[in-house]
């Protein structure tokens, strides 16, 4: 929901709240729909007094019982932040208590895609209808780009033609999360695949530098609902529909990229701890702690970690002169 579509008696404070978050550097475009849900509730309830009470907030929270715990927490968190915003000018405005952080088992499971799964998804995307249209090439390019670079889905949508620097073999992310700009180096195969896609899209979409890189059938920028719906179809077609709500998800390509990069460094004998800041920078994270969220043990990674620890321990014992 767009902030301009707010209709309740608190629409104007909600608009100012959203704008304040944007000015603070938060990537709030995708989050603007969360205040929108609350605004719709207030409008349907017929609230006329621009003041939030405990009864109103708790009534809204009761309408969220059918949602996934994390989705419910996100919506409640935004409402609490909005209540805090209102309380700065209206001390009588109700502010709910902070919710306790949910246990990690409530988080959606992360799926690390195998090579076979990625190839199956790319092959299924290539067969999308209508035949001989740009649509199958767009989805194949999008999924391949996410798998090979670990970009956020919103960053991929926001790419313009001018952001693809073929000669430098890189992408320029003009506004990542928290408005952090960065360069993303590409492998030769990814660069070549993007180049081929651009040649096709130039025939049926605007070619100005600020035109979107990835486009839909109408030559417009891709959007979340349509892409998510198509991705659910693809994963179902590939036999990967384990849970229609929990995944595997598009965002899991980002988790997969991070784990694979870690695995490659272990196999190459690199100093993983020294290279984690590189990975954090590449992914557009503020710090290493944000990157660590994406790292998890896998069947391939664990033996490499064990071998590294064993080699380190053996060298330590030999250097100390102790018997093995």
Catalytic residue flag (residue 152):
yes
| CATH of the domain spanning 115-237, picked from 3.20.20.330, 1.10.443.10, 1.10.1040.10, 3.40.50.1370 | 1.10.443.10
> Roughly how many angstroms between the first and final C-alpha of the chain, as a whole number?
65
Q: Which of 33, 68, 80, 177 is catalytic?
A: 177
Given a contact cutoff of 8 angstroms between Cβ atoms, the answer to whether 72 and 85 are in contact is: no
Residue 287 is predicted with a pLDDT of 81
Task: Identify the active-site residue in 21, 111, 140, 152.
Answer: 152
pLDDT confidence of residue 105: 46
Q: How far is CA 160 from CA 22, 175, 218, 265, 321, in A?
A: 21, 11, 16, 32, 60
The DSSP bridge partners found for residue 164 are 171
224 is catalytic: no
- Given 254, 255, 260, 261, which residue is catalytic? 254
CA angle, corner 146, sides to 140 and 148, nearest 5?
95
The per-residue b/e assignment along 84-98, b for 16 or more CB within 10 angstroms, e otherwise, is ebbeeeeeebbbbee
Helix ranges (H only) for 24-134 are 33-45, 54-62, 69-87, 115-126
Is 21 an annotated catalytic residue? no
* 313 catalytic residue (yes or no): no
pLDDT in tens, the chain (324 residues): 444 578 899 999 999 998 887 776 565 555 677 888 999 999 999 988 888 999 999 999 999 988 888 788 889 999 999 999 999 998 888 999 887 655 444 456 789 999 999 999 999 999 999 989 999 999 999 999 999 999 999 999 999 999 999 999 999 999 777 677 999 999 999 999 999 999 999 999 999 999 999 999 999 999 999 999 999 999 999 999 766 666 799 999 999 999 999 999 988 888 888 999 999 999 998 888 888 888 887 777 777 767 776 666 566 665 655 554
Residue 294 appears among annotated catalytic residues? yes
Catalytic entry in 110, 235, 249, 285: 285
| Domain boundary assignment for the chain | 3-106, 115-237, 252-320
From 182, 251, 275, 308, the catalytic residue: 251
- For residues 42 and 25, what is the distance between their CA atoms, to the nearest angstrom? 27
Beta pairing class for 170-173 and 164-165: antiparallel
């Amino acid at each position: 929901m767009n902030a301009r579509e707010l209709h309740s008696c608190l629409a104007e404070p909600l608009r100012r709240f959203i704008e304040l978050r944007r000015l603070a550097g938060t990537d709030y475009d995708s989050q603007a729909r969360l205040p929108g849900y609350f605004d719709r509730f207030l409008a349907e309830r017929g609230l006329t007094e621009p003041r939030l009470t405990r009864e109103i907030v708790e009534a809204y929270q009761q309408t969220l019982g059918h949602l996934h715990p994390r989705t419910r927490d996100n919506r409640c968190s935004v409402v609490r932040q909005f209540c805090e915003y209102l309380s700065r000018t209206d001390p009588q405005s109700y502010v709910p208590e902070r919710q306790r952080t949910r246990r990690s088992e409530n988080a959606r499971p992360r799926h690390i895609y195998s090579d076979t799964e990625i190839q199956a998804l790319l092959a299924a995307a290539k067969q999308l209808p209508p035949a001989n249209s740009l649509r199958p090439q767009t989805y194949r390019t999008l999924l391949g780009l996410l798998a090979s670079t670990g970009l956020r889905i919103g960053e991929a949508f926001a790419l313009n033609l001018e952001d693809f620097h073929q000669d430098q073999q890189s992408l320029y992310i003009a506004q990542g999360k928290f408005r952090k700009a960065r360069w993303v180096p590409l492998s030769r195969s990814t660069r070549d695949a993007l180049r081929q896609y651009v040649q096709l899209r130039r025939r049926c979409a605007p070619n100005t530098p600020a035109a979107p890189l990835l486009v839909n059938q109408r030559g417009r920028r891709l959007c979340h609902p349509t892409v998510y719906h198509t991705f659910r179809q693809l994963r179902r077609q590939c036999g990967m529909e384990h849970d229609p709500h929990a995944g595997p998800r598009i965002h899991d390509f980002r988790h997969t990229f991070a784990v694979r990069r870690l695995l490659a460094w272990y196999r190459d004998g690199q100093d993983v701890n020294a290279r984690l800041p590189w990975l954090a920078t590449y992914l557009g994270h503020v710090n290493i702690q944000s990157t660590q969220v994406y790292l998890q043990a896998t069947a391939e990674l664990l033996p490499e970690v064990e071998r590294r620890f064993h080699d380190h321990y053996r060298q330590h014992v030999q250097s100390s002169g102790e018997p093995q």
